[in-house]
Structure 1
Amino acid sequence: MDHGHAFTQWKKHCFSKVDFSKKGTIDDEIYPVVCLINDSSDYFTTSSCSGRIILIDGVLGLQKASGNAVFKFEPFVLHVQCKDIESAKILHSVAVNSGFRNSGVSIGKRGKIIMAVRSTHCLEVPLSHRGEVLVNENYIHFLVQIANQKMAENVTRIKRFYDGLQVALQAAVSSSMATGKDKKNTKTVWNPRKTQDSVVEESQILANKSNDSEDYLETSLTIFS
């Protein structure tokens, strides 16, 4: 089986699988990016996250923390399987130029080429240790502001990545047409299905109420409601 045929089979198999993530769907904020990539015959996405702000502990409110609570901001991450090295180079160049400078390419034993779009635009701060809160409300307020600023920058980088990828894919299509190769036109329009400017509030972190749902804990602390 040649690599091109194998890639097509891998893509078909990936699209037939069930999404086992907690949310079960693609994040609305990166839906256009994922569609743009998957509409190309040279790529398909294997996992993604638009970015999130979370408080990690057994319960929701910091005042109820029983262990080592950690406040985290995790930026946009995207894993894409590429048809060949040249396709991976195009995606890598766009990612780095968009601000995702921790991006990289890995090649598996079976020839799978995975491009990871990542950045070092992270934040991870311990808030309690063995149930003892280590910070005051002013510091929580400061952390929330920093995290929201990072999320805003994260959204800007995602849009920059989308715009750059749009241009790069169109250039690749034009180049392939000039050399007689047939590639699918990938032109789309940036139109996120969900755009809200709500930000996480420090009251959500200090809230003195518990919730048994880990999913609620994470989603309630994202910058997008």
Structure 2
Amino acid sequence: MKNILILVFASVLAGCGGGDGANGPATPVVTPPTSAATVCGIEAGPKLLQGAVTAVHDGDTLTLSVAGVSHKVRLDSIDAPELAQPFGYVSQSALSTSVLGKSVKVAYAQTDQYDRIVGAVFTDNCQYVNLSQVATGMAWFYKAYQCEVSATVRQQFTQAQDQAVESRSGLWVQNDPEAPWFYRNGTEPVTPTCKSDLPAWASTTALAAVGATTAANSSTPVPGANGTAICYTGPRGGTYTLTATGSKNYGGC
């Protein structure tokens, strides 16, 4: 009788998917972000969203709709001209041509202080949109954040920008184009020396460091000069107000 009960219990357990049998469902394996995850052959980020682009705000920011939820996405590694700068609307138009109304994948590791996803954008045919913006002279390689991507990706952006400058593509047709970070803040950020060939997100410690918001880089509202608008201070000291649609208006303070 004891042997019969054991056999019955084993049969019930197998039917419920228990045990390690080949016919049972595999146990999900959760891999922490300690090694590079790739999309379209690019070391891009440990998290992934896929959806349709519903809006393009400028040359490096878009809105992604995923299952009815909108996500603001800031393309990593690049900085496009502000709309008020030369080539600002040209850059926005180029990004729109690449992604607006289309399905894309966004690989990312973090959000910024404005709650935007900061990530790499890929079309269904594996166009690396961030890199395309730089290669066509529609944006700068944002070297102040170069350690957040791998050495291989840094090299790709460096080469793309060098070729765009040499061929005077896009904004590089100008003799001395003003970088958007200097336009916003009036200063040149320090280009960091990367201590690893891996992207920052490949280390949980580094990810926590780059994702943290401190008093030094938070956006603290202060009363505007006109008494009604609110001026915000960005992470690099630039000031701006917000429009009714939530866009940043530099010079509005």
Q: Is TM more than 0.5 here?
A: no
- Higher radius of gyration, 1 or 2: 2
Question: Which has more helix, going by share of residues?
Answer: 1
TM-score (norm: length of structure 2) = 0.21
**Structure having greater relative contact order (Cα 8 Å, sep ≥ 6):** 1
Question: Which has more strand, going by share of residues?
Answer: 2
